[in-house]
A and B are shown apart, each in its own frame.
Chain A
Amino acid sequence: MWATACHPKFSFSAPLMLSLVPDHKRPGPMEPPMDAVVPTSSSMQSPGYACRNVASSSSLQARTHVNYDVKGDVAVVRFNSPDSKVNTLSKQLQSEFTEVMNEIWANEAVKSAVLISAKQGCFIAGADINMIESCKTTQEVTQLSQEGQKMFEKLEKSPKPIVAAISGSCLGGGLEVAISCQYRVATKDKKTVLGTPEVLLGLLPGAGGTQRLPKLVGLPAAFDMMLTGKNIRADRAKRMGLVDQLVDPLGPGTKSPEERTIEYLEEVAIGFARGLANKTVSHKREKGLVQKLTDYALAIPFVRQQIYKTVEKRVQKQTKGLYPAPLKIIEVVKTGLEQGSEAGYLSESQKFGELAMTAESKALTGLYHGQVQCKKNKFGAPKQEVKTLAVLGAGLMGAGIAQVSVDKGLTTILKDTTLEGLGKGQQQVFKGLNDKVKKKNLTSFERDTILSNMTGQLDYKGFDKADMVIEAVFEDLSIKHKVLKEVEAVVPPHCIFASNTSALPISQIAAASKRPEKVIGMHYFSPVDKMQLLEIITTDKTSQDTAASAVAVGLKQGKIIIVVKDGPGFYTTRCLGPMLAEVVRVLQEGFDPRKVDALSTGFGFPVGAATLIDEVGVDVAAHVAEDLGKAFGQRFGGGNVELLKRMVEKGFLGRKSGKGFYVYQQGVKNRSVNSSMDEILAQFKVPSRPEVCTDEDIQLRLVTRFVNEAAMCLQEGILSNPVEGDMGAVFGLGFPPCLGGPFRYADSLGAKQLVDKLRKYEAVYGNQFTPCQLLLDHANDASKKFHH
């Protein structure tokens, strides 16, 4: 079980660290510095010191982040970061927390304590990212880590039992607080998640987490948590031993359910705190047989060594050595277990400091900030909320869009032209939801209730109530025009028409519309329920309100949204075009698809470039390449489109037809190269150019064309900012997350280096590699950066 997925699953479905929050107020100049109030451990127990502390703190400063009151003999400590939906372990919060705990430890009348959040839906969401980002050196970050370690060690060794009452997100540093306590009580609802998402930011749990987690949940589970960064729901946390007790969420009483639930959580936690203090409750949990056996096995050094080795091998395989954090996590855990906790804590803080300074961590943190930015509606609230959504076309995309809409509470109509197509689409939606039932994310009743909001039909019945129609019909302009006209004849005037096309310019589709201001592009990525990106395309005529509505719907569907201007291929398809053209050229030059795949995944792409063509569909790739070729001319050349067309003729459409560059067979994991391709490849073979054919050159030929095109999109105003460019590339196209996106990559590599490479390839291949003006500007002025 521990050996499951150790890879920070960025790829296409990066479960990014939604819960750590950056837009948090940093301590202002008026607030006291932290070191002023951290006492030494010897003075902690001294009543005199504490009295002074109480007196000074209550009279001189009002606490804004942490407060407490005493109920009987139990102190209830409440976290409440001001002006924020979540609590973060900022310097201010930490210092107030230290103060409060010192008072509690010194107060003879208090026998135990409960830590709880005053906010609904968040215990502590993690450390303050800005606090880490603002550090300039490894030493600074290491020191932050050590301060946290010290504080949490005091919690762990507290003579008065401390119970963490967890409701909502308990992540990163928040989890480290919780596992330092003697006991944990958590509400059993969907909002309550525990986890160590640091790895997703290229970091490691830096406040004792790497040392305490293995002791609490066992080595395998601890590795699983720390290496994947996944969120763990309360019920699973209970089974793992991560929390000791669960509290069911309550319904309405004489207060709102949320308010009363957190009160109840507090009451229950107080009960356990008191029980721990008077020894009627034991914090030792009973271990099952499996747990006992595992513990027994792990006591054997040889077994532990094997585990380290296996986990390391897995991480190496999955990260290709591109992500330093997972390896450091293994190292730190190992140090703690093999050389004692002192060495472990030291190693943890040092590696934490080192990781924070890596380019990978900065790239991943950048993506995190980008994600927050792309989860906002910059157009404001739409005039009319979309409540009823109609989707045209029940194919893979249409059904996917219907699924992510209906399960968010939108009344959804799924329309197709044939009963067979409709049936398939409905089955896809059912399956999508039923998979959630199997994973216990939904109950079968919730699934049925959700599905009752979706109607499948062949006609336009009920479209008079539709607030938005998203078409996902065949990619053919005349068909799009036909459905647009049909739709406009039946929908109300306010209804928005959105096209889910990957390449057809929206303005051309809108040309057939009576109300082009209501026409917009919503480019989803397949599979819709897994891919996080939504590319929204506005034309010159699209109204602001239409854009606001589209973004609002996308956000409701849980998407990361970039909004781009209309043009051939918009942003994402346009960037992908030149790269795929280069892939075809590389293949024509005689490189094996496996080699191309290995080079691209070795660079950090989650899916190999040849495989990507198979996944997208060879026909689609050919179609798009031809269209973009027409629009952009020679610059989009390189590989010969005829090669793809020949594949289509032969029926090698990629995964969907079972054959492409590879042969796909049900149940066969290690697919083989399609040997029938040899003939086609031979036919289109071109001589390779040894001066630009090293492994690195091939990687860079693919990537530089991508980056150059992305920069051109920014230059032409297709993209409104580099952040969206990075987000689109990473979340829509699988651009290596460790590089943070094309713009962050250009910054970190240096525009100068990038231009030099492009010039080198330009000398061989011509204008396909001519750097765009924006890149040249950046290359000429080292102070110019896309990200600041």
Chain B
Amino acid sequence: MTSMLSRAIRSLPATSTWAVRFSARSFSCSPLSHAAVQPKSKKTLAKNGVKNIVVVDGVRIPFLQSGTSYADLMPHDLARASLQGLLNRTNVPKEVVDYIVYGTVIQEVKTSNVAREAALGAGFSDKTPAHTVTMACISSNQAMTTGVGLIASGQCDVVVAGGVELMSDVPIRHSRKMRKTLLSLNRAKTLGQRLALFAKIRPDYFAPELPAVAEFSTSETMGHSADRLAAAFAISRVEQDEYALRSHTLARKAQDEGLLTDVVPFKVPGKDMVIKDNGVRPSSMEQMGKLKAAFVKPYGTVTAANSSFLTDGASAVLIMSEEKALAMGYKPKAYLRDFVYVSQDPKDQLLLGPTYGTPKVLERAGLTLADIDVFEFHEAFAGQILANLKAMDSDWFAQNYMGRKSKVGAPPLEKFNKWGGSLSLGHPFGATGCRLVMTAAHRLKKEGGQYGVVAACAAGGQGHAMIVELYPQ
């Protein structure tokens, strides 16, 4: 029944695409296409009295499926590799760096300030302070904007921001009862007291506590929420599989064409040099269609193939005030312009951050959707992306849930995640934000655009959107 329905739904956009093509052909006598001549609402987003902040460059180590080559490392090892990669790429003198911020989600308890541990081992000055932020899947976005804040307020000139996630190893705890017993054991003075405590231990005390990719407030796993979201927007299994296939196909193409220049190789001790992302697997619709629903069983639409996979990885960007960068002789890649954080109902709108964030950041910057040349959205699930596109294209949703008069409109797919996305490249929770910004910057240059929008959803029902402006060439 799903396929029947989806076919019916799919036929709609298909026909409209045809219509567009047809009309485009009929207007082919006009000398230039509309997109090329359309003037931007604004020439630049520079504001009087506000420092221009630039991203000089950024790198990431290859994103790997968890349990593969990075499996035996610790999170700070990955972060360290990305920091070293950044140092190599930019040759920034280590004493110039004023501050380091890293984002991460599932913290290794031994290195809870992973930014500091990584910086110490990466050859940065031990005089450079570092802290770690967390905001679920937008943790490295938060790291970058923290850096932007430090520079804008004049506290710093040069900040390194990044993110790291190691899903191959997550802290698994003893149960609360067991922890309580063990902690009491510390205080027990006599053998008798200790034995009495041991005697209290029951088999259920040994049940471990695993970190769940579930909302604490609703106890719902993110995949389950994504499935409900897809259903709420009536997005079929086939549509989701098609989108996932698109992501993998585009990622493979970008890999093959050597476009993913933010990737730096990582020599893992005792293993081969890792040179590229290993989760890109363009498959076929038939193959993907065979998978069973992963969360809403048995009839759900979100499967392993149309969801982002558990990923290990780390990323880093070098952010400076424009004048500092120029003074140091750098040619920056892009400006980091307006950004917003949004939050909404963590149950039914968990993954709609981009829908709320995009119109808001466009308004802040005084731009319209048509001004944007490059969209880089975080792909948590194919269903989530398609739901966001539908929500952004719905007047009803804008009016009833966002308090807006009308919709912002859906980003056109020909500008959207053209080099793959989290579905195919992978999604190390804490590190994705930097990848989005660097991909947007690189795409703007490659495709000849000026403005890009980066947007992402995050657990807790939060979201982030930021305008990236190509640095004048």
Contact residues of B between 188 and 241, Cβ < 8 Å to A: 217-219, 224, 228-229, 231-234
Interface size on A, residues (CB 8 A): 23
Given the known A-B contacts A252-B232, A253-B232, A254-B233, are A445 and B217 also in contact in the complex, defined by CB atoms under 8 Å? yes
B381 shortest CB reach to chain A, Å: 15
Contact bitstring B20-48, A, C-beta under 8 A = 1, else 0: 00000000000000000000000000000
A253 touching B218 in the complex, CB below 8 Å, given contacts A245-B299, A264-B231: no
For the complex, give the distance between the alpha carbons of A272 and B1 in Å: 9
What is the CA–CA distance of A314 and B78 in the complex, to the nearest angstrom? 67
Say yes or no for A248: interface residue by CB 8 A criterion: yes
Which B residues from 337 to 354 make CB contacts under 8 A with A?
345, 347-349
Interface flag for B243 (CB, 8 Å): no
Within the complex, which residue of B1, B228, B234, B394 is in contact with A251, where a contact is CB–CB below 8 Å?
Answer: B228
A688 to B310, CA, bound (A): 84
In the complex, which of the residues A251, A263, A271, A445 contacts B229, with contact meaning CB atoms closer than 8 Å? A251
- Assess whether B5 is interfacial by the CB under 8 Å rule: yes
Report the Cα distance A257→B397, complex, angstroms. Answer: 11
A256 and chain B: residue at smallest CB distance: B400
| Contacting pair A270 B1 (CB below 8 A) | yes
Q: Are A252 and B1 in contact (CB under 8 A)?
A: no
Q: Is there an interface contact between B219 and A443, defined as CB atoms closer than 8 Å?
A: yes
* Contact A267 to B1, CB < 8 A, known contacts A252-B401, A445-B218: yes
Residue A255 at the B interface, CB < 8 A? Answer: yes
Q: Which of A299-347 contact B (CB under 8 A)?
A: none
Say yes or no: is A268 at the interface (Cβ < 8 Å to chain B): yes
In the assembled complex, which residues on chain A have CB atoms less than 8 Å from the CB atom of B234?
A: 253-254, 260, 263
Size band of the interface chain B makes with A: 20 to 34
In the complex with contacts A251-B347, A254-B396, A254-B397, A443-B218 CB distance below 8 A: yes
Contact across chains for A252 and B5 when beta carbons are under 8 A apart: no
Within 8 Å by CB of A254, from B218, B219, B348, B394, lies B394
Q: Tell whether, in the assembled complex, residue A255 and residue B396 are in contact, meaning their CB atoms are under 8 Å apart.
A: yes
The smallest beta-carbon distance between A405 and chain B, in angstroms, is 24
CB distance from A497 to the nearest CB of B (A): 38
Question: A667 interface residue, CB < 8 Å from B?
Answer: no
Which residue of B is nearest A245, CB measured?
A: B299
User: Residue-by-residue, is A267-303 near B (CB-CB < 8 Å gives 1, otherwise 0)?
Assistant: 1101110100000000000000000000000000000
Residue in A closest to B401 when the chains form the complex, CB atoms: A252
Distance, CA A252 to CA B396, complexed state (A):
10
A72 proximal to B (CB < 8 A): yes
Bound-state CA distance A611–B394 (Å) is: 64
Chain B residues, Cβ within 8 Å of A74? 1
Q: Which residues of A contact B217 (CB under 8 A)?
A: 443, 445
Let me know if A252 and B228 touch, CB within 8 A: no
B1 CB, min distance to chain A CBs, angstroms: 4
Q: Is B2 within 8 A of A271, CB to CB? A: yes
Assuming the contacts A252-B348, A253-B390, asked whether A260 and B296 have C-beta atoms less than 8 A apart, the reply is no
Give the residues in chain B near A274, CB-CB below 8 Å: 1
- List of B residues within 8 angstroms of A251 by Cβ: 228-229, 232, 345, 347-349
Give the Cβ gap from A438 to chain B, nearest Cβ, in Å. 15
Is A250 at the interface (CB under 8 A from chain B)?
A: yes
Q: Is the CB of B2 within 8 A of A253?
A: no
How long is the Cα–Cα vector from A272 to B345 in the complex, in angstroms?
31
One digit per residue, 1 when the CB lies within 8 angstroms of any chain B CB and 0 when it does not, for chain A 367-408 equals: 000000000000000000000000000000000000000000
The interface residues of chain A lying within 8 Å CB-to-CB of B465 are none
Which of B2, B219, B224, B400 meets A252, CB within 8 Å?
B400
| Smallest Cβ-Cβ distance to A264: which chain B residue | B231
Interchain CB contact under 8 A, A268 and B299: yes
What 1/0 flags go to B164-191 for Cβ under 8 Å of A?
A: 0000000000000000000000000000
B109 interfacial by beta-carbon distance below 8 Å: no
Residues of A within 8 A of B391 (CB): 253-254
- Is B387 in contact with chain A by the CB < 8 A criterion? yes
CB-CB < 8 A to B233: which residues of A? 253-254
Q: Is the CB of B349 within 8 A of A252?
A: yes
CB distance from A590 to the nearest CB of B (A): 55
- Give the chain A neighbours of B224 by CB distance below 8 A: 248
CB-nearest residue of chain A to B2: A271
A232-264 CB contact bits vs B (8 Å, 1 = yes)? Answer: 000000000000010010111111110010011
Assembly CA distance A493 to B275 (angstroms):
75
Q: How far is the CB of A450 from chain B (nearest CB, A)?
A: 14
Query: Quick one: which of A253, A257, A267 contacts B387, CB cutoff 8 A?
Result: A253
* Closest Cβ neighbor of B345 among chain A residues: A251
By beta carbon, the residue of chain A nearest B347 is: A251
List residues of B (292-319) whose CB comes within 8 Å of A's CBs: 296, 299
Give chain A residues whose Cβ lies under 8 Å from the Cβ of B387. Answer: 253
Which chain A residue lies CB-closest to B236? Answer: A267
A250 touches B1 (CB 8 A): no
Query: Once the chains bind, are B5 and A267 in contact (CB under 8 Å)?
Result: yes
Give every chain A residue within 8 A of B400 (Cβ-Cβ). Answer: 252, 256
Are the C-beta atoms of A271 and B348 separated by less than 8 Å? no
Q: How far is the CA of A74 from the CA of B5 in the complex (A)?
A: 13
For B228, the chain A residues whose CB sits under 8 A away are: 248, 250-251
Taking the closest CB of chain A, its distance from the CB of B151, in whole angstroms, is 38
Distance in Å from the Cβ of A442 to the closest Cβ of chain B? 12
The 6 closest A-B CB pairs, nearest first, are: A251-B348, A253-B232, A271-B1, A250-B232, A253-B233, A254-B394
Chain A residues packing against B (C-beta within 8 Å) = 72, 74, 245, 248, 250-257, 260, 263-264, 267-268, 270-272, 274, 443, 445
- Can you list 28 A-B contacts (CB < 8 A)? A74-B1, A248-B296, A250-B231, A251-B228, A251-B229, A251-B345, A251-B348, A252-B232, A252-B348, A252-B349, A252-B397, A252-B401, A253-B232, A253-B391, A253-B397, A254-B233, A254-B391, A254-B394, A254-B396, A254-B397, A260-B231, A260-B234, A264-B232, A267-B5, A268-B299, A274-B1, A443-B219, A445-B218
Q: Beyond A251-B232, A252-B349, A443-B217: 13 further Cβ-contacts under 8 Å?
A: A72-B1, A72-B4, A250-B231, A252-B400, A253-B231, A253-B234, A253-B397, A254-B397, A257-B348, A264-B232, A271-B1, A443-B218, A445-B217
Partner-A contacts on B (CB < 8 A): 1-2, 4-5, 217-219, 224, 228-229, 231-234, 296, 299, 345, 347-349, 387, 390-391, 394, 396-397, 400-401
